């Protein structure tokens, strides 16, 4: 799959200190990642599809919760995509990789500042 990527875009990024008293009454948040794709353009003549990859996330740690969404416009050459189900799991991981990197970078910097110690390195499992 030959890709041309636009710059990643941070739609939202939230850092919240944990409020355990609030969580007792309202429930504990859970870590979650979801990648979705929105068709931006399907050009049959040029045999190219453009999609917006969107990563929505929530990461729960002992001291804080981060959440938000990052996205990226990706142009796929020599392939027409009709629906997200057309991507294999490996292709989804490849499309989402820069978005996960962005979340890692943001989290490291924000936690370094917020907690006044070395930042947290997130590790994602395939």
Cα separation, 66 vs 13, whole angstroms: 7
46 is a domain residue? yes
Q: What is the pLDDT of residues 28-81, one digit of tens each?
A: 999 999 999 999 999 999 999 999 999 999 999 999 999 999 999 999 999 999
Residue with tokens 């636009």: 6
Cα separation, 124 vs 11, whole angstroms: 20
- Return the CATH number at 107: 3.10.420.10
121 is a domain residue? no
Cα separation, 76 vs 79, whole angstroms: 6
43 is a domain residue? yes
Query: For residue 6, what are the domain limits?
Result: 2-115
**Angle at 100 (CA atoms; ends 87, 80), nearest 5 degrees:** 20
108 is a domain residue? yes
25 is a domain residue? yes
126 is a domain residue? no
**Number of domains observed in the structure of the chain:** 1
The percentage of residues in the chain with a pLDDT greater than 70, rounded to a whole number, is: 98
Alpha-carbon dihedral angle through residues 21, 33, 67, 116, given to the nearest 10 degrees:
90
pLDDT at residue 100 greater than cutoff 80: yes
16 is a domain residue? yes
Q: What is the pLDDT of residue 35?
A: 96
pLDDT at residue 2 greater than cutoff 70: yes
35 is a domain residue? yes
Q: What is the pLDDT of residue 125?
A: 65
Q: What is the pLDDT of residues 3-25, one digit of tens each?
A: 999 999 999 999 999 999 999 99
pLDDT at residue 126 greater than cutoff 70: no
pTM of the predicted structure, to 2 decimals: 0.90
């Amino acid at each position: 799959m030959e890709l041309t990527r636009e710059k990643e875009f941070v739609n939202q990024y939230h850092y919240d200190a944990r409020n355990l008293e609030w969580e007792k009454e309202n429930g504990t948040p859970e870590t979650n990642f979801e990648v979705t794709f929105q068709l931006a353009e399907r050009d049959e003549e040029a045999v190219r599809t453009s999609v917006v990859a969107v990563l929505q996330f929530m990461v729960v740690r002992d001291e804080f919760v981060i959440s938000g969404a990052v996205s990226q416009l990706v142009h796929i050459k020599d392939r027409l995509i009709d629906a997200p189900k057309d991507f294999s799991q490996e292709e989804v991981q490849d499309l989402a990789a820069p978005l996960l990197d962005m979340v890692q970078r943001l989290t490291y910097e924000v936690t370094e500042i917020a907690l006044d110690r070395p930042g947290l390195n997130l590790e994602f499992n395939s």
